[in-house]
Amino acid sequence: MPSGQLSPTTAELYARHVIPTYARFPLALARGRGTRVWDEEGREYLDFTSGIAVNALGHAHPALRDAIAAQAGELVHTSNLFLTRPQALLAARLGKMTGAHGKVFLCNSGAEANEGLYKLARKNGTPRGRCEIITLDGSFHGRTLGSIAATGQIKVKLGFGPPVDGFLNVPARLECVAQAVGPRTAAIMVEPIQGEGGVRPLSADFLRALRTLCDEQGILLFYDEVQCGLGRTGDWCGWHATGAKDAVPDAISWAKGIAGGFPLGGFWVREPFADLLGPGTHGTTYGGSPLACAAANAVFDTIEKEDLLTNARERGEQLRAAVGKLPLIREVRGAGLLLGAEVEDFAPNQGEEGTPALRLTKRLISAGLLVVPAGDNTIRLLPPLNVTAAECDEAVEILGRVLADCRS
């Protein structure tokens, strides 16, 4: 840059060089500590997004920082041609969390984990002519071609030509799912708590009925726990929060919070299906690297050591009770620290555009609180699992002030 010329701002560089797949908020974040982040101008925000349910320990947690630094000094990556201790230990503890016998495959993201499940369903079902997967309206399963076919929302599919064959999206009602099951069905896949679709928990009866249906029909039941799994609901297993602890699935996908922000995904497959994807059937170069797995092991050690599952449940109840009393709030849904607050519509200020959830989110950002819109009328509150009671009070105070202003 010649002297005397101002360097472009971060927003200008994005506008010129980054493919505009996201309608990003014009906020350039520079650093974080715990539940707080600061932008490039030094303004402070309370971060109730956790990078969309990812930063389980908040920002810059010393245990995560130290584990990443220590592992980076030993081995960052080896490929899956070899064994590494961090992957072995992580697979063992993930398997234990499910409470059933099975095995784990590690990859890099939620969509990639789900792709593994689609392949598992087809590998199991193809010999019997079964290769279709049933998913629910309102669901979200990722952005690959397979996952946009699986996702039960038109907006993610539009403009990308013929959908990948073999996915049926049906209303989230037992009779609709049962009717859709046929001789070609290989699996049913659901999010026990739909996240992107507006934080909508499935009922315990529905999950149990799906389990029974799958057993009767000889098909597999998959839970996409990319958002609701691994502690976010105050339990390792997201489906426990629905009350149907006994409705154990045949496979589970994970990502997001698994390594506290370091990219990692994975899926678990219950016996007797765990060896179906044998040598040469599936793979990934980066997945389950020693660095990613060391990060994940540090996250789980910290959740256990600091009893963050209890904290997630208690802070979740605190937020649910307080947010439910605020003006314009219709309903608070979800479990633990996966909460969706549905708001009534309110009059836009001059120049304001978008859904009520988006307009409210922008007003909250201006007031110093970061949240995530979900659907048209719901904002998600997704603080880290170690958020304090005082930080929750502060978030509720900001939300209450902004909502009161929306109403006036």
Query: What is the total count of residues that contact ligand PLP (CB under 6 A)?
Result: 14
Please say which residue, 84 or 109, places its beta carbon nearer to ligand PLP: 109
**Position 196 contacts ligand PLP (CB under 6 A):** yes
Please say which residue, 47 or 191, places its beta carbon nearer to ligand PLP: 191
- Angstrom CA distances, 11 to 21, 24, 28, 40, 299, stand at 14, 10, 7, 11, 32
Q: What are phi and psi of 188, to 5 degrees?
A: -115, 130
Segment contacting ligand PLP (CB under 6 A): 8-16, 119-127, 140-148, 298-306?
140-148
Q: Which of 135, 169, 227, 233 binds ligand PLP (CB under 6 A)?
A: 227
Cα dihedral 81→87→93→99 (10° resolution): -30
339: left (phi over 0), alpha (psi -120 to 50) or beta: beta
Q: Which of 195, 249, 257, 336 binds ligand PLP (CB under 6 A)?
A: 195
Q: How far is the CB of 193 from ligand PLP (least distance, A)?
A: 9
Tokens of 234: 């105050």
Tokens of 242: 């629905």
**Position 115 contacts ligand PLP (CB under 6 A):** no
What does the longest C-alpha to C-alpha distance in the chain come to? 74
Residue nearest ligand PLP by beta-carbon distance? 110
Segment contacting ligand PLP (CB under 6 A): 106-114, 168-176, 281-289, 296-304?
106-114
**Position 117 contacts ligand PLP (CB under 6 A):** no
Q: How big is the CA angle at 153 (ends 152 and 154), to the nearest 5 degrees?
A: 125
* Residues between 271 and 310 that touch ligand PLP (CB under 6 A): none
**Position 255 contacts ligand PLP (CB under 6 A):** yes
Segment contacting ligand PLP (CB under 6 A): 41-49, 136-144, 163-171, 399-407?
136-144
> Contact at 8 Å (CB) between 189 and 170?
no
**Residues in Cβ contact with 295 at an 8 Å cutoff, skipping those fewer than 6 apart:** 64, 67, 68, 71, 259, 260, 261, 262, 264
Segment contacting ligand PLP (CB under 6 A): 165-173, 223-231, 372-380, 390-398?
223-231
**Position 226 contacts ligand PLP (CB under 6 A):** yes
**Position 142 contacts ligand PLP (CB under 6 A):** yes
**Position 192 contacts ligand PLP (CB under 6 A):** no
Q: Residue 305 burial by CB count (10 A; 0-12/13-18/19+): exposed, middle or buried?
A: exposed
**Three-state SS string across 161-182, please?**
CCCCCCEEEECCCHHHHHHHCC
**Position 191 contacts ligand PLP (CB under 6 A):** yes
**Position 109 contacts ligand PLP (CB under 6 A):** yes
Which parts of 203-242 are beta strand (E)?
Answer: 220-224
Residues found near ligand PLP in the complex (CB under 6 A)? 109-111, 114, 140-142, 191, 195-196, 224, 226-227, 255
